[in-house]
């Protein structure tokens, strides 16, 4: 029987810890590129390469993380990942205060945090159905998406003020405390959190288990279409995000505080998470994903309206923040509804490998294009690629499934 999310103690602990962790992550996500661009004078290619390096870790390690999440208890994996991320991030403010901070350290710390993040996220996605049940899974994802949107708005806005008046290292220090809170909450969760072990016949070498996850995704028309669409959207999106901060600081001449306030106020993620379930129920999964993909691409195009640049950034950000939770909630529901518990880790890892493989490519290409043609051209090219992602959804007659329809009915 599915747990009632409103009274599920373990789910609330995970939810609260994840909210605080998301809040701290926004502080660091704002502070790191600000330090690189303003304090270290990083070039567009350097910023793009840094983002590409961090993203490259995900597809390289996602498969191993998926196998670990299916073989071992997920809670200890998540706790270990938090500890590693806290130690790595802690080295940055220390180096800052010692006047020894370099771009090389950014690459090392970024790679370590990305690797630990892959393990945490893979175990977390596989753990969630055990907390809220299959029937309550989509509601749980929607609630987490809502809190993530609130954390994004609050974290980005406060990070701008912190960086402007106190300094970027403090934002990173505050993130360390969020990992402590997340870890304490995980320690208080009582459910063992491991999926049913595979039958002995299913257990094989690491390579065989990894192949099983990819085979599951590639032979399923629904999962395959979603993976190709998401990877295309991520390719274009990575090109845009790799230069977006540069674009705002150097072309629009925004201060860190102004940038943070605009990014915080222009956030409709909470609304997107709220309507995600209803949109999937009313329009169907395929139309919901396609619509979110198109609106996201339009949002990127709007950034280039130089007649009113601040308004363009505000409106474009509104569309991106609104569509993000809709896409992620619908996609996660589709994936989980079609996969047995003991394969969730490997399926999630395979999806992340396929989708996130596009991110380092897009980030590096975005930085290279910006070095030659400028950030505006890079944003335009990335927007076009993002719009093309809808084609993978359009060529399929339907992405609906009996499992999803039943899940949407229960979620309503």
Q: How many CB atoms lie within 10 A of CB 404?
A: 23
pTM: 0.66
164 pLDDT tier (thresholds 50, 70, 90): low
What percent of the chain clears pLDDT 70, i.e. is strictly above it?
A: 84
Note the pLDDT of residue 399.
47
At residue 410 the predicted structure's pLDDT band, cuts being 50, 70 and 90, is: very low
Q: What pLDDT was estimated at residue 200?
A: 45
Token code pair at residue 307: 């007649």
What is the torsional sign of CA 273, 277, 279, 284?
positive
Is residue 114 predicted with pLDDT exceeding 80? yes
* Sequential DSSP letters for 157-221: HHHHHHHHHT-HHHHHHHHHHHHHHHHHHHHH--S---PPPPPTTT---HHHHHHHHHHHHHHSH
More confident site: 409 or 44: 44
- Taking only the tens place, the pLDDT of each residue in 255-306 is 877 777 787 777 776 677 778 778 877 888 778 888 999 999 999 999 998 7
pLDDT at 191 (0 to 100): 65
Walk me through the domains of the chain, giving residue ranges and CATH numbers. Answer: 9-192+205-411 (1.20.1250.20)
pLDDT tens across 311-361, in order?
A: 889 999 889 988 888 888 888 777 777 777 777 777 877 888 888 888 889
For residues 1 and 65, the model is more confident at: 65
Q: Answer for the pair 49, 243: CB distance below 8 angstroms, yes or no.
A: no
pLDDT of residue 407 exceeding 50, the answer is: no
pLDDT at residue 73 above 60?
yes
Residue 7, pLDDT above cutoff 60: no
Q: Where are the alpha helices (DSSP H) in 374-412?
A: 375-388, 390-394, 402-411
Q: What is the DSSP letter of 308?
A: S
pLDDT of residue 402: 45
Burial 38-67 (b: 16+ CB within 10 A, else e): beeebebbbbbbbbbbbbbbbbbbbbbbbb
- Indicate the range of 113-127, 198-212, 297-311, 376-390 predicted with least confidence: 198-212
Q: Which helix (H) or strand (E) holds 77?
A: helix 74-97
User: Which structure tokens are listed for 342?
Assistant: 């003991």
Q: Which has more confidence, 254 or 398?
A: 254
């Amino acid at each position: 029987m599915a747990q009632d999310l409103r009274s599920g103690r373990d789910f609330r602990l995970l939810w609260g810890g994840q909210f605080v962790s998301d809040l701290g992550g926004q502080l660091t996500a704002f502070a790191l590129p600000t330090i690189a661009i303003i304090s270290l004078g990083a070039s567009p290619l350097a910023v793009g390469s840094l983002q590409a390096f961090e993203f490259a870790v995900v597809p390289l390690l996602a498969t191993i993380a998926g196998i670990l999440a299916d073989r071992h208890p997920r809670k200890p994996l998540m706790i270990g990942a938090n500890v590693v991320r806290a130690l790595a991030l802690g080295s940055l403010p220390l180096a800052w205060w010692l006047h020894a901070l370099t771009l090389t350290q950014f690459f090392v710390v970024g790679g370590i945090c990305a690797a630990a993040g892959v393990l945490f996220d893979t175990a977390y996605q596989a753990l969630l159905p055990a907390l809220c049940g299959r029937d309550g899974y989509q509601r749980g994802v929607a609630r987490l998406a809502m809190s993530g949107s609130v954390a994004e708005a609050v974290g980005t806005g406060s990070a701008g003020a912190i960086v402007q008046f106190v300094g970027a290292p403090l934002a990173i220090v505050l993130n360390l405390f969020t990992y402590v809170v997340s870890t304490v909450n995980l320690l208080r969760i009582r459910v063992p959190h491991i999926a049913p072990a595979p039958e002995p016949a299913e257990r094989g070498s690491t390579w065989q288990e990894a192949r099983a996850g990819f085979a599951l995704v590639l032979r399923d028309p629904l999962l395959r279409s979603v993976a190709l669409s998401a990877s295309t959207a991520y390719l274009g999106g990575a090109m845009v995000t790799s230069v977006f901060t540069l674009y705002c600081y150097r072309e629009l001449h925004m201060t860190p505080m102004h940038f943070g306030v605009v990014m915080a106020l222009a956030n409709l993620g909470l609304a997107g998470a709220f309507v995600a379930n209803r949109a999937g129920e009313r329009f169907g999964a395929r139309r919901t994903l396609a619509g979110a993909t198109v609106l996201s691409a339009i949002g990127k195009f709007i950034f280039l309206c130089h007649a009113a640049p601040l308004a363009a950034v505000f409106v474009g950000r509104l569309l991106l923040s609104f569509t993000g939770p809709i896409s992620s909630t619908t996609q996660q529901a589709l994936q989980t509804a079609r996969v047995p518990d003991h394969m969730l880790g490997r399926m999630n890892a395979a999806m992340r490998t396929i989708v996130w493989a596009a991110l380092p490519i897009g980030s590096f290409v975005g930085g290279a294009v910006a070095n030659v043609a400028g950030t505006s051209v890079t944003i335009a090219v990335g927007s076009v690629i993002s719009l093309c992602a809808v084609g993978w959804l359009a060529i399929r007659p339907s992405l609906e499934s009996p499992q999803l329809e039943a899940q949407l009915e229960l979620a309503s």
